[in-house]
Amino acid sequence: MLILLPPSETKRAGGEGAPLDLEALALPALRPQRAAVADALIALAADEDEAARVLKLSGRQRGDIAANAALRSAPTLPAVDRYTGVLYDALDAASLPASARRWLGARALIHSAPFGPVGALDAIPAYRLSAGTSLPGLPSLRRVWADAVAAALTAAAPSFVLDLRSEAYAALGPVPEGVASAYVRVVTPTGRALNHFNKHAKGALVRALAVERPRISGGTALRRWADSAGWTLRPGEPGEVELIVEHG
């Protein structure tokens, strides 16, 4: 099983790892796209006013421009530790046993805007870039990433993909039709979609998977594990599964 996670707008600063090494990231076929987006983001940072406009930054967020300028030289953190916010607080990767972190590193990709999907333990710097941003000198991020990511996922040949990304990030790299997958929507028992609890539930689900490390090769096996682990999953629209939570 391969798990696809969304990134978070909020991130931890700093890090202790060596600077970004594009060659070391998961899905190495994406290196040309990663280099192009990283270079465009660094170039944009040279003009602070233009960077603030393109990235839609408030005055208090302008410090993020410096992070972009240092994209290739700044210290790094494992991606799963770099991101903060509701989903990543619920996942709480720092407190996971080493075996669970290794499991995440082998099976979870976090879909970033500048680097595409990266391994959960891949070392990345802090940055500011969202899925809907258009960088000067590049096509839209969807045009940069979608076909390349789909091809890379096909080449990876996962037996099953559990897609927990937001729709914006799923559009940057659709799971190919030939790959068995389930897109997760978090809803109440009556089918009402959730926001805050959507992110929390996804993070908690991934934590449970990492701790228990079940063997899952398809949607039926996923629902069987969920039933045994106290989660409620039900079929949704074609290609989707609904994660049921009581909150909201």
* pLDDT at 246 (0 to 100): 82
Residue 122 confidence (pLDDT): 98
Question: Which pLDDT score, from 0 to 100, does residue 196 have?
Answer: 72
Least Cα distance to 146 among 117, 119, 110 occurs for: 117
pLDDT tens by residue, 1-13: 999 999 999 999 9
Distances (CA, A) of 55 to 6, 48, 130, 231: 19, 10, 8, 38
Q: Give the 3-state secondary structure of residue 49.
A: helix
What confidence score (pLDDT) does residue 163 get? 98
What share of the chain has pLDDT > 90, as a percent?
93
In this predicted model, what pLDDT tens digit does every residue of 183-207 receive, in sequence order?
999 998 887 777 778 999 999 999 9
Residues 72-95 have a mean pLDDT of 97
- pLDDT (0 to 100) of residue 248: 53
Over residues 145-187, the pLDDT tens digits come to 999 999 999 999 999 999 999 999 999 999 999 899 999 999 9
User: pLDDT tens across 39-63, in order?
Assistant: 999 999 999 999 999 999 999 999 9
Q: What is the pLDDT of residue 192?
A: 79
Question: What does pTM read for this prediction?
Answer: 0.96
Q: Quick one: which H or E segment has residue 117? A: strand 116-119
